[in-house]
A and B are shown apart, each in its own frame.
Chain A
Amino acid sequence: MVPVLLGIAFITFALVSFAPGDAIRLMLGSESVNVANVERLRRELGLDLPWYHQFWNYLLGLLQGDLGTSIASRQPVADQIFQRFPNTIILTVASLVVALVIAIPLGVFAASRHNRAGDYVALGFAMLGVAMPNFWLGLLLLIVFGLELRWLPIRGIGSLEDGILDYASHLVLPAVTLGTSLAAILTRLTRNTMLDVLGEDYVRTARAKGVRPDRVLFRHALRNALLPLVTAAGMQFGALLGGAVIIETVFSWPGLGLLSINAIRQRDLPTMQGSVLVFAASFMLVMLITDLLYAAINPRIRYG
């Protein structure tokens, strides 16, 4: 774990420090390139030091929670990220919930109707869901439910002071958009693992004993099909985080993704660098949680 964390830190460090041309010029933009300015900012950022020295300083800063200073707002990057990050967690977790709520029932349903119409409908959804560009789906939903039907707000985040309903209504479109492709992946996975499990001896035994079909499906089969589902959902969380960058820009959802895209547009490399680091660290954390969860539900694995 530690080498991987160091590696992540090194890559985010390298993004800015080994940037081609000159990161400083990039940050100042082409208009105000002036030798004195460049030199001043370079010293300010410690970029006149040898790279290993810079990396050491970067690591020391990280340990103290210092992610540098934003070029655009002159605020500490860590503060900005701290403000925005909860919104990204809310969005991605909501998307995960959307995905699971669609995928598990649909996958079980498809497996129980193997090679019949219901199965094909579920598979059709699974195939379309992964093939659609998520930003395009977001725009379509925005047109239909936001602009035409006027059911849901199309941008920004609600305030909890205006009530939970207002907050939730802002969350619906981004969360559904972001959750759809994961729902598609997990639907197919649930269906396939259910089909495998339904062919097992213990399922046949349960049926032979006269256990009700829905009980066989949910108690005997689904519980065993959940393991691969947990692993897949954890691994796919990275795709949710990456997708959040795009979906947050579509719906102006003020999370870490929107922060990093705006930082890129303003050539604010320290803010982008900090955001990337936090994205990677949170993905690692999710993978860790996934492993623990896997152990918790798998009766065959016990730690300690």
Chain B
Amino acid sequence: MADAPRTTPAAPGHGRRVLRSFLRNRLAVAGTVVLVLVLGSAVLAPVVAPYDPMKMNLTNAYAPPGSAGHLLGTDNFGRDILSRLIHGSRISLVIGVVVVSIAATVGTILGLLAGYLGGWVDELVMRAVEIFFAFPFLVLAIAVIAVFGPSILNVMWVLGLVSWPLYARLVRAQVLALHDVEYVEAARAAGMARRRVMFRHVLPNVLTPVIVTATFGIPEAILASAALGFLGLGVQPPTPEWGAMIAEGKDFIRRAPNLILWPGLTIMIVVLGFNFVGDGLRDALDPRGKKG
């Protein structure tokens, strides 16, 4: 959010207007509160989690929610579910942010080159984009992880690898629209080096949509990594990843449905939080019309 003003140069008061518009959106504010809470619990996990997320206690397995000391109950190994969810937030947030950073960086650079340089560079990049778009996103991710083996590191780079084309296409379209704008032309006419025009004058002006897209990209990556965890192709148990927790809990749905209930709710709330913030950001940054 702090980046937003930088992307629209020479508009004093723009940042404040964006902020005001964002704060007027109640859902966006609610989303921000959720994200701050989740981020806080992720950073402070060892402090705020009541128990060690890995500590088993078989004599106290399947404790129902609200039982002594276990707000959300315990799982099949007697581990405290709340503590596992809190520690899991670290994994999901890190995955979400890293995936989007990889995808947005690679996509933005390639989109910038394609749009600004044109010619064979454009041809090459756009063909690659088309090929990647031809694969259902999750199918390709599952296949690559199947080959390289499941691990948190592989989940991050693979999801990043399959997500970049979205950013490349977006940035390319923006760059093409900017190519003949006066200040870009002026910079070129003044004899400025191509690389400098590209990174100093064009790039900052295409970042706004990238930021909005990235905000929606994080919850998508969180959902995708949870799906991979659920399939056993993501973060492996006993690590308390939310999707993997649901996979572990699904064998006990008759006995203790809360084993899957809480992690799913947690994923949903976090994803909602990001989506609300994304909607608010998009509406605040885009002066043209708003619709819920």
Chain A interface residues (CB < 8 Å from chain B) = 3-4, 7-8, 11-12, 15-16, 19-20, 23, 26, 119, 123, 127-128, 130-137, 139-140, 142-143, 147, 188, 191-192, 195, 238-239, 241-243, 245-246, 249, 260-261, 264-265, 269, 272-273, 276, 279-280, 283-284, 287
Contacts and interface: CB of A to CB of B under 8 A. Distances in A.
19 contacts: A8-B131, A20-B147, A130-B275, A131-B219, A131-B268, A132-B264, A132-B268, A133-B246, A135-B227, A135-B230, A147-B254, A195-B291, A239-B138, A260-B143, A261-B231, A264-B146, A265-B232, A276-B135, A276-B139
Given A246-B227, A280-B134, A131 B271 contact: yes
Residue among A7, A131, A132 having the largest count of chain B Cβ atoms under 10 Å: A131
Contact of A3 (B127, B144, B246): B127
B136 interface: yes
Contacts, number: 140
B272 interface: yes
B253 interface: yes
B135 A280 contact: yes
A28 B133 CA distance: 32
A26 B144 CA distance: 14
B246 A4 contact: no
A127 B147 contact: no
B280 interface: no
Contacts of A128: 268, 272
Nearest to B279: A127
Interface of B: 127-128, 130-131, 133-140, 142-144, 146-148, 219, 223, 226-227, 230-233, 243, 246, 250, 253-254, 257, 260-261, 263-264, 267-269, 271-272, 275-276, 291-292
B134 A20 contact: no
Contact of A4 (B130, B231, B253, B263): B130
A16 B148 CA distance: 10
B136 A280 contact: yes
A133 B268 contact: yes
A8 B135 contact: yes
- In the A-B complex, the 6 residue pairs with the smallest Cβ-Cβ separation, listed nearest first, are A242-B138, A7-B131, A136-B264, A242-B136, A131-B271, A238-B136
Interface SS, B side: helix
Contact of A279 (B130, B139, B144): B139
B267 A192 contact: no
B145 to A, nearest CB: 9
A227 to B, nearest CB: 18
B136 A279 contact: yes
A251 to B, nearest CB: 12
A130 B271 CA distance: 9
A9 B231 CA distance: 25
Nearest to B247: A135
B116 to A, nearest CB: 23
Contacts of B275: 127, 130-131
Contact of B223 (A133, A142, A245, A269): A133
Contacts of B227: 133-135, 246
Contacts of A26: 147
Contact of B246 (A7, A139, A260, A279): A139
A193 B131 CA distance: 30
B263 to A, nearest CB: 8
B139 A133 contact: no
B131 A4 contact: yes
Nearest to B137: A242
A188 to B, nearest CB: 8
Nearest to B254: A147
B47 to A, nearest CB: 28
Given A11-B131, A242-B136, A133 B226 contact: yes
Contact of A11 (B135, B231, B267, B268): B135
A77 to B, nearest CB: 14
